[in-house]
Structure 1
Amino acid sequence: MSTPVKRRKVNSTLLQWVTKPNTEADNDLIVGPICSATSPVSAKKSSHRQSGVDPSWKKTFPWVLFTDNEKGMLCSFCTKFNMKSKNGSGVWVSVPCTYLVRDSLLRHAKTNMHIEATDLEANSILAGKGQSIQSAVEHHTSLEKTALIGAFKIMYWLAKEEIPHTTHFASLLDLAKNLGCDYLNLLQKGESVNYTSQHIMQEMLHSLSLQISTPVIDAIQQSTYYSLLVDETTDVSVLKQLTVMARYFNQDLELKTSFLTLIDVPDGKADTLVAALKQFMTENQLPAHSFIGLGSDGAAVMVGKKTGVATQLKADLNSELINIHCIAHRLALAAAQASNNIPYLQKFKSILKQLFYYYQNSAVRMSSLKQLEHILGDPAIKLKEVGDTHWLSHETAVRAVSQCLPSLIASLEREASERHDATAAGLATFVKSPSFVCTLAMLSDVLPHLNRLSKLFQKTSVDFTLVDPLVSSTQMTLLRLLEYPADNMTNLPTRFEQLEEYGVKGSETDITSFKERIYHQYINNVVENLHQRFPDTNILDALSVFDPELIDKEDPSLHEWLQHQKLKTLSDHFTSVGSFEKVKTEFHSLRQLIAVNMKDHSLRDAMLKVIQMGDLYPALAKYCMIALVLPVSTADCERSFSTMARIKSVLRNRLSQRVLNQLMCISIEGPSSSDFNFASCVSAFGQIRKRKLTTD
């Protein structure tokens, strides 16, 4: 009879590894489910289940043996080593346990004789494999880490694809196991420990987001200068949100624009927004002296001269701060307001909206329009909504109406005659007028140029050096249309002939009258608005001193008085960079280099070259850094709002502000899975779990 042994602490990690049945297919690598014989699993009463053998018990207790008649249970470990209990009973060894409930297995797993038998089995397996205890533990730990990395990859994919992780993580993990990823079974630490609980998933998400956000914050802290891009919106749960992004240089002198945070603010007042921004900067230790630019949509609360957000931040944090009104917003306003003093164009925009809602709100009308498009051979195009806040909506709406105009006229006249619809009759009369057709042609020629400019301004890489040449080029193109109209206006006579059978009657006289009343005035308004919305500011104009085109190759000192004037403007504003005499001395040396070696460079490329020569021209290099980090567009903020709307919609708002920020950080800033360092993330997760357990 074996001598009763005292309960002793057993290496649970080792037990979990050695107690999994091995097969030849395993090639001596243990990657299957774990038997947690000594795991402190609390006994649970079976709920509404009659006594009897349950085959699923073998998944948690692989040592259990069922008798042939399934009327009893034995322990393979205790039987192998002929263990005896304290009272001398042979139950579980030579006598089957006949109390066929799961609690019996749990109680036996905690007995001294089963613990000793499990330890003997572990030593037996290790002796057969020729492994040491230490190497076995290290091998199993490596496999566990591989399994955890797999789980993090699944969580990362869900977050990156904006799929609800709380409801899909466990099912996707099971799918991966069923597809052959057996190593994921190592995540099962017991009946209730399997890395799929809500708090574990949130800690995994937190670890993933930290791996992305921490390097960004560190890079901003070390950047010589950085700018913040801010914008506010109201989300789908009617809460006001302030998004914050940053534009900065990283350690490799690469210009970056990154998402930082989304702040839940109670209202849109300037004081509230300023307090939120200052608190965020303090919490993340963002240096105020490097905060050089603030980009916004140009709302009064942002740019107000007395109490606006920019004014307060400039007074409280950095007097050298430059406020920039987003160029994409300015362009949208310039285009939208060009028709303000032309009554017919105001009516035209109203008709486009009415047409959209007339068909959008009726499936019967929409079906009728689709049928007519098919019969008449028009493209099957859906009408688009017009909105001044949607930068590219006007062109798409005009294009849709223009391409399906015959079907649209026929559909409206059918609705008017068959259903006696007065709205349809009124819309049909308007769209059949020569002025409507002429306006479609005019906007089809003008809006593509404005939309092309808008798309360029919405790019993350855009900077102030591109604004003036792009705007000037667009203005010249539009002015040319006054003398040489584009295709749509030129082909208006042919267009009227094609539409004559649908009741549209137009002539050369109508075209000439339209040009005099609307065409010339509208184009001139657009050009003038672009000029007013994009004025040269003193600082931005002064930064053009580095433009190679403005430095004469034969005589770089030509127009020296103008160069000195621009340098004086910069030195007076950016007093921390250096005195006028210092920057003037540096520039006299640099302009010779620009004239000889950078003549074929753009202003942006020339500034990047100067930044790389920061050791030779420290003050001028700082000016160039300031110029390139200035946030001329806040289009990235709009993209973050789109991400927020998608995430909050699919999750039905069931998430905290912290989790929302983590999901947005991964979705917007997260690299591809192949470029993500999951090993570091697992290590960070381990530290979080260790602190959590210590706190608990």
Structure 2
Amino acid sequence: MLQTNLFTFLKGGQKRPHEENNVENQSLPVTPTKKTKSSVSDVMDSPLSASKKKIRKFNSDWTKEFEWLVHEPNNDGVMSMFCTLCRDSKKTNPFATTGSTNFQRSALERHGSKNPEHLDLILVQKLVNSKSTVKDVVEIQEVNNSESKCAQIRTLYYLAKNGHPLSMQNSLVELQQLNNCRDLRDHATIYSSSTTHDEMLDAISEVIEESVNADILSSDFVGIILDETTDLTVNKKLNIYFKSFKSGSTETVTHFIDCVDIENGKADTLVEEIEKVCARIGLDMLKVISMASDGASVMIGHKGGVGVKLREKHNPRLVQIHCVAHRLALCASQACQNVPVFADYQRTVKNVYRFFHNSAIRYNGLREIENLLTDENKDTKHVTLKEPASFRWLSLQNAVKAVFDVYPALVMALDNEAATGSSEAKGLLKSVKSVQFLLNTAFLVDILAVVNKLCKVFQRDELDIEQMNNMLCSTRETLQTFKAVSGSTLEETYKAISNGKYKDLVKVTDTSQLRRGFQSSSVKYLDNLLDNLDNRFEESSMKILTTADKILNPSHLPTYTEEIPAYGNEDLAKIVEWLGPLENYPGLIDPTNMKNDYLQFKLVLRKLQGKSLKNVCETLIQRYSESFPDFTVVAKYVLTAPLSSVACERGFSSQNRLKTKLRSRLESTKVSKMIRVMEEGPAVAMFDTQPVLAKFDKMKNRRK
């Protein structure tokens, strides 16, 4: 009988209470059987298994630890746990209504430390017990509300700092509430209006702007950086940055100021916007002593450019600087002029990219061949073909390097496509299989690597004239050697071509005529590039900065002491003429004192041998400003003069990340505020919400 009942039980059948007791109290000889998934599952789900689970009971010691806890029967007569605070206040959580039968300490801890309703009641009880006044209660409530506001401001700052839409604010706050964020538990303190979110952004932007303005106004000289562009909705924009000293320091910083709408690109319009920005900040235009921009005629035109108009209206000492990064890009792009082979090469690289980019099937075929040619033991990634974009500085290097890395696979993939009858593939294959194309690729890998390194240096905000000249000199010398000696990549490529094959993998069209064509065209390309570097970076293009470098840089001093008195007197005369008194403008230096101090200054400067120009200028400002005040003025100019307009390009990139097709209705003022937060705001972890909160509360009479 017992065996029958047990068999029925294991099969999921019902049993009577006395049968269950018999099973629990007696040991039965059961023949071992093979267990299956279904039988094990049935046993686990059976009442017998349930009867073995641990039965939790109420611990009377809990009432001593949790003063609000009582153990009483509920409406159904089941002994349950209740919270007297929540029940007396008629709250809706289980501890106040039906009671909790989850006899676990963790359940009590969760209710006591994380339930918002319970925590508020604990606070009220403490206030009552301590006989606090209404004023005390109000102050505590204001503190709680202040913490909630700070949490919301920090959340919105996170969105703006990362360029996310502010419309995500409510969703993020809700997520934090679900994660039991204590500062956001009171729904009555949450601001869900988009208008209020915009006001928070205004407060954040104003606090950051005040910090930026403090740096600018405390600086003796300011360099202005300008560039114009058109945004997604075809609105013409002017990006404005200032380079100045950090307040109370010799460290220089480049600050985003504004990205303003302009009606047209005329010089008068741009000057008017610059004047408005300076007036808003309270900046004296006489402090704006240098201006960097691209090479557009509206900016650097000798007759009606922005620089000329600013000199005429505000500061005759203002120095115009054509962005060195833009100049270098022009040098590289124009080196192909009058060299048809390299002009054709660029077109071929672009056509190859489009041929594969426009078809996933073709691209997958290229990847499959690349996999076959790749050593299985190597953990390599697929090389992605790049498009040489005209609007990206020296993007040709990435495109060329990608073609070189996948050259064997590329030839095979084009060969396969040509076999299917594709006329486009046949044309590309004929060009790519030429030994001249392969040698051009290897040659440009070497050349563009050198030029691109120079470009990266030129994109630094803290670039100075010494760094620029040193890198230019080393670049010229390196390129000059390539006329006589092949670069490493080209040399290896020559060795890899044998018997009409490259690396014994693919056939190439190799003739002496094609090789001679490469030799002549590569030399001509190098000559063009070197000539462009000489012409676009001639000394006269930055004569004031170059002269200042000769005056302040100890590396230019003569080796012998007897030669020092005669050194640099002509250069000093140019500086005196520039910074001395002008008609209707007082001098920034004392010409007589500067000339009298020059010999002693050179002897002191000799003691600073080995220091960079930047370090020398900082040392002069920190330690010799009283002894050599006139030379300190020159040092301040050198440090604040921007040599490139790269900062504006970064600003446009930030603008394009914000104003997308899905966010095309963003107002220009809001875009400008978010760019300010993205570029000038501290990291989220370092963001101080208190100044923002004070400004936010002053905007209007908000609820306490």
C-alpha separation between the residues in 2 aligned to 1:607 and 1:65? 70
In the other structure, the counterpart of 1:686 is: 697
Q: Does 2:529 match 1:523?
A: no
Contact kept in structure 1, 2:589 and 2:633, CA below 8 Å: no
Verify: 1:666 aligned to 2:670, yes or no.
no
C-alpha offsets along residues 105-151 of structure 1, whole Å, 9 cap, x if unaligned?
Answer: xxxxxxxxxxxxxxxx9998743233233333322222221111111
In the TM superposition, residue 564 of structure 1 has moved relative to its aligned partner by 1.5
- Alignment of 1:295 onto 2:292: yes
Residue 462 of structure 1, CA deviation: 1.1
What is the CA-CA distance between 1:473 and the residue it aligns to? 0.7
Structure 2 match to 1:549: 555
- Give a deviation string over 1:489-516, Cα, whole Å, max 9, x none: 2123333235265330336x46861454
Q: Match of 1:565, as an amino acid? A: E
Return the alpha-carbon distance in structure 2 between the equivalents of residues 659 and 472 of structure 1: 44
Q: Which amino acid aligns with 2:481?
A: R
Q: Which residue of 2 aligns with 1:503?
A: 507
> Match for 2:233: what amino acid?
S
Cα distance change on mapping 1:125 and 1:438 into 2, 3 Å: closer
Matches within 5 A, 1:165-244: 165-166=166-167, 168-186=168-186, 188-189=188-189, 194-244=190-240
- When the two structures are superposed, what TM-score results if normalisation uses the length of structure 2? 0.78
Alignment of 1:386-535 (within 5 A): 386-418=388-420, 420-497=421-498, 498-499=501-502, 501-506=505-510, 509=512, 513-514=516-517, 516-535=519-538
Q: Distance in 1 between matches of 2:522 and 2:169?
A: 58
Structure 2 residue 245 is the aligned partner of structure 1 residue 249: yes
Which residue matches 1:141?
142
The aligned residue for residue 25 of structure 2 is none
CA distance in 1, matches of 2:321, 2:187: 51
Aligned to 2:646: 635
Q: How does 1:103-118 map to 2 (within 5 A)?
A: none
Question: How many angstroms apart in 1 are the aligned matches of 2:449 and 2:409?
Answer: 24
Partners of 2:454 and 2:386 in 1: how far apart? 21
Partner of 2:133: 132
Q: Residue 247 of structure 1 aligns to which amino acid in structure 2? A: K
Confirm whether residue 268 of structure 1 aligns to residue 271 of structure 2.
no
The letter of the residue matching 1:362 is: S
Change (3 A) 1:27 1:380: farther
Alignment pair present for 1:354 and 2:364:
no
**What is the rounded CA distance, in whole Å, between the counterparts of 1:371 and 1:63 in structure 2?**
70
Distance 1:352 1:667 in 2: 36
Q: 1:450 to 1:26 in 2, by over 3 A?
A: farther
Cα separation, 1, equivalents of 2:538 and 2:555: 20
Q: How far apart, in 2, do the equivalents of 1:361 and 1:688 lie?
A: 53
- Once the two structures are TM-superposed, the CA of residue 620 in structure 1 deviates from its matched residue by 0.9
Residue identity matched to 2:626: D
Query: How far, CA to CA, are the matches of 2:508 and 2:285 in structure 1?
Result: 64
Work out the CA distance in 1 between the residues paired with 2:612 and 2:547: 16
Q: Distance in 2 between matches of 1:185 and 1:156?
A: 20
Residue 10 of structure 2 is matched in structure 1 by none
Report the alpha carbon displacement of residue 359 of structure 1 after superposing the two structures with TM.
1.6
| Shift in alpha-carbon separation, 1:227–1:26, aligned structure 2, 3 A | farther
Pick aligned residue for 1:599 from 575, 587, 609: 609
> Residues 323-380 of structure 1: CA distance to partner in whole angstroms, max 9, x if unpaired?
1011111111111111111111111111111111122222222222222222333962
Is this contact kept in 2: 1:248–1:255, CA < 8 A? yes
Q: Name the counterpart of 1:333.
A: 330
| Correspondence 1:614 to 2:625 | yes
Query: Partners of 2:466 and 2:257 in 1: how far apart?
Result: 25
CA distance 1:124–1:518, shift in 2 (3 Å): closer
Q: How far apart in 2 are the matches of 1:437 and 1:134?
A: 83
- Aligned with 1:339: secondary structure? coil
> Residue 280 of structure 1: CA displacement?
1.6
User: 1:27 Cα deviation (Å)?
Assistant: 11
Match for 1:410: what amino acid? M
Deviations 1:170-207 (A, max 9, x none): 11111111111132134615xxxx31101110010111
Deviation digits for residues 242-279 of structure 1 (CA, Å, limit 9, x no counterpart): 11111001222211111111011122222221221122
Q: Name the % identity.
A: 27
SS of structure 1 residue aligned to 2:482: helix
Q: Aligned in 2, Cα 1:339/1:182: closer, same or farther, shift over 3 Å?
A: same
TM-score, normalised to structure 1's length?
A: 0.78
The question of whether the paired residues in 1 share the 8 Å contact of 2:300 and 2:306 is answered with yes
Q: SS where residue 483 of structure 2 aligns?
A: helix
Aligned partner of 2:374 among 342, 357, 377: 377
Separation in 1, partners of 2:66, 2:664: 45
Q: Which amino acid aligns with 2:207?
A: Q
Asked whether the equivalents of residues 586 and 620 of structure 1 are also in contact (C-alpha less than 8 Å), the reply is no
| Contact 2:144–2:183 under 8 Å retained in 1 | yes
Shift of 1:159: 0.8
| Counterpart pick for 1:566 among 562, 566, 571 | 571
**What SS does structure 2 have at the residue aligned with 1:146?**
helix
Secondary structure in structure 1 of the residue aligned to 2:195:
helix
- Distance in 1, matches of 2:536 and 2:265, equals 25
Q: 473-482 or 643-652, which moves further after superposition?
A: 643-652
RMSD over aligned Cα atoms: 2.7
Letter in 2 for 1:188: A
State the shift of 1:590 in Å: 1.7
**Structure 2 unmatched runs, 5+:** 1-62, 69-87, 93-121, 376-380, 581-586
Are the structure 2 counterparts of residues 140 and 475 from structure 1 closer, same or farther at C-alpha, using a change threshold of 3 Å? Answer: same
User: Deviations along 1:278-307, whole A, 9 cap, x unmatched?
Assistant: 222122222101001111011111111111
Q: 1:482 offset after TM fit, Å?
A: 2.0
**Counterpart residue number, 1:98:** none
SS of the equivalent of 1:286 reads coil
SS at structure 2 position matched to 1:616: coil
When structure 1 is superposed on structure 2, of 459-468 and 493-502 the one drifting more is: 493-502
Deviations 1:188-242 (A, max 9, x none): 15xxxx3110111001011111111111112212210001111111111221111
Q: Which amino acid in 2 is paired with 1:345?
A: F
Q: 1:522 to 1:24 in 2, by over 3 A?
A: farther
The answer on 1:319 being equivalent to 2:316 is yes
Unaligned runs of 5+ in 1: 1-22, 29-61, 67-120
Shift of 1:582: 2.1
- Counterpart CA distance in 2 for 1:689 and 1:267 is 37
The answer to whether the Cα contact below 8 Å between 2:242 and 2:257 also exists between their aligned partners in 1 is yes
CA contact (8 A) 1:552 1:595 kept: no
Q: 1:477 to 1:134 in 2, by over 3 A?
A: same
Kindly state the Cα deviation for residue 405 of structure 1 after the two structures are TM-superposed: 1.2
Question: Hey, what does 1:6 align to over in structure 2?
Answer: none
Larger radius of gyration: 2
C-alpha deviations, 1:379-436, integer Å up to 9, x for none?
6222111133311311100011111111211222222221x22121111001111110
Aligned residue pairs, count: 576
1:458–1:124 CA distance, 2 compared to 1 (3 A): closer
What is the SS of the residue equivalent to 2:290?
Answer: strand
Cα distance in structure 2, aligned partners of 1:599 and 1:689: 59
